[in-house]
Structure 1
Amino acid sequence: MSDYVTEYIESGVLVLCLKRAEKKNAITLDMYQALTEALHRAALNSEVKVTLLYGAGGDFSSGNDIKEFVQIAQAPEKMEAIMAFLQVLSGYKKPLIAGVEGRAVGVGATMLLHCDLVLASREARLQFPFVQLGLVPEAASSHLLPQLVGYQKAFEILVLGEFVSAQEANEIGLVNHLCEEGEAYEMAFSYAKKVASLPVEAVALSKDLLKYRAQDDVQMALMREGRIFKDRLRSTEAHQAFASFLSRKK
């Protein structure tokens, strides 16, 4: 388990917390591996009825750690850790619930598309800035987002890459319910306990019925995006975008 990912089980709910607040919970390869292993364990643990994802320190996640991405661009095979997480996330059979405060950027936003319930603070903001970084959408977002919000709105969100407010996210179906700032975890845990109290097999079968038609399409989108994403990491556009981003950070 990474120092930046914590987990515990309470009332049948596995709580997975991204705990790298000083970096706005930017996700490293070690964190991806820790999350993957935690979800694999949870899938086999009968004590776990529901899994809850949230980020400590006021932000859900600022996405991938850009400094690591610069390194991955030189060794794209390192993307295997990311792909392993996305595959287990997209195929996870138990209910997934997210509590979102602050920023959910990049993979911090696309992973929400795989959750069954998303509860967010009114101050939360989602962003999918892949094109701005010379990349392409990932985590099957090129398939899931148009299905959810329609093609034109998905194009706007994924290509322009501007922030989506919590209010708009709620209106277009990216977020189930809104709460006051600082209350997303409590609200998400409350919903998680409600789901955990229901008949386990009935819940799992209902999730499967809701998702089974899309599963093949989701996996195909993951693979197609992954291939193009690796190529884009080597592109001049991506290298220039990363260099510009890192210079601004300095």
Structure 2
Amino acid sequence: MSDFVTETVESGVQILSLNRADKKNAITLDMYQALTDALIRADTDETIKATLIYGVGGEFSSGNDINEFVHIAQKPDKLSIILSFLKVLSAYKKPLIAGVEGRAVGVGATLLLHCDMVLASREARLQFPFVQLGLVPEAASSYLLPRLVGHPKAFEALVLCEVIGAEQAENMGLINHLCETGEAYQVALSYAQKIATLPVEAVALSKKLLKSPTQDDVQNALLREGRIFKERLSSSETIYAFSSFLSRKK
């Protein structure tokens, strides 16, 4: 595992913790690889009945590590590590639950679209800032988000890139239930443990039935987005946006 992704198993629930709090759990290539490996292992481990993912330190994830992405732009083949994670995530057979505190930005927000349940605190905030960075939506969000909320709302979220508060996200169907600040992990864990007590095959088959009609479309969206995303990394708009973002941080 990566130093910034920890894995534990509790009562049949695999718990994957994004543990890079000082960087608001920004995800690096090593973290992507660790998450991919953990999901692949869990999919074939009969002792694991469900997976919970959450962010340590009061933030779910600020998305991709921009400093690393500046280097990836010079070597875009490394994007294959991210695409592999997204393919494994989208095809994961077991229940996937997220506990969200604070910000879920970029891939921190789009990965929630692949979860079976999302439990979030009332202070949670979602944002899809790809266009602001000169990029395009990823993680099949260009397909999944319109399906969930309709084209107009999806366009607003993905193009205007404005922050979506927890109550609005719940009303849009992006979050199952809200809880008080600091309680998202325990609430999400309680749902995951409840699911873990149910008949395993019936749960797995139910998830398969729910996802099967759209699985091919999701995979096609991943490939389509990935191709354009890779091209955009070397665009003048993206280079300027990354430079401006890093300058503001300094």
- Band of TM-score, shorter chain: over 0.9
Q: Within 2, Cα distance between the matches of 1:80 and 1:22?
A: 26
Displacement after TM superposition at 1:234 (Å): 0.5
1:110-144 deviation line (CA, Å, top 9, x unaligned): 00000000000000000000000000000000000
Partner of residue 161, structure 2: 161
How large is the RMSD of aligned CA atoms in angstroms? Answer: 0.3
1:187-226 maps to which residues of 2 (within 5 A)?
A: 187-226=187-226
What SS does the corresponding residue of 2:41 show, helix, strand or coil? helix
How big is each residue's C-alpha offset from its partner over 1:186-207, in whole Å with a ceiling of 9 and x where there is no partner? 0000000110000000000000
Query: C-alpha separation between the residues in 1 aligned to 2:32 and 2:210?
Result: 27
1:150 aligns with 2:150: yes
Quote the residue 2:73 is aligned against.
73
Q: Superposed, which structure 2 residues align to 1:42-191 within 5 Å? A: 42-191=42-191
Alignment size in residue pairs: 250
**Deviations along 1:54-106, whole A, 9 cap, x unmatched?**
00000000000000100011000010110010000000000000000000000
- Per-residue Cα deviation, 1:140-192 (whole angstroms, up to 9, x for no partner): 00000000000000000000001000000000100000000000000000000
Show structure 1 runs of 5+ residues with no match: none
Q: Tell me by how many angstroms 1:32 deviates.
A: 0.3
Q: In 2, Cα distance between the equivalents of 1:55 and 1:43?
A: 21
| Secondary structure of the corresponding residue to residue 126 of structure 1 | strand
User: Aligned partner of 2:7: which letter?
Assistant: E
| Aligned partner of residue 2 in structure 1, secondary structure | coil
Tell me, in whole angstroms, the C-alpha distance in 2 between the residues paired with 1:237 and 1:217. Answer: 29
Structure 2 gaps of 5+ residues are: none
Partner residue, 2:33: 33
Instruction: Determine the C-alpha separation between the residues in 1 that align with 2:144 and 2:44.
Output: 27
Counting aligned pairs with the same residue, the percent is 73
Tell me the amino acid that sits aligned with residue 11 of structure 1. Answer: S
Which one-letter code corresponds to 2:242 in the other structure?
F
Q: How high is the TM-score relative to the length of structure 2?
A: 1.00
Q: Distance in 1 between matches of 2:62 and 2:28?
A: 11
- In 2, the alpha carbon distance for the partners of 1:114 and 1:241 equals 28
Give the letter for the 1:232 counterpart: R
Q: Distance in 1 between matches of 2:164 and 2:233?
A: 25
Q: In the alignment, residue 166 of structure 1 is paired with which amino acid?
A: A
In 2: Cα distance, 1:201 partner to 1:165 partner: 36
Distance 1:218 1:100 in 2: 23
- In 1, Cα distance between equivalents of 2:228 and 2:145: 18
Match in the other structure for 2:235: 235
Give the Cα–Cα distance (whole angstroms) in 1 for the partners of residues 81 and 26 of structure 2.
15
- Letter paired with 2:117: L
What is the identity, as a one-letter code, of the residue corresponding to 2:142?
S
Structure 1 SS opposite 2:118: strand
Q: CA offset at residue 241 of structure 1?
A: 0.2
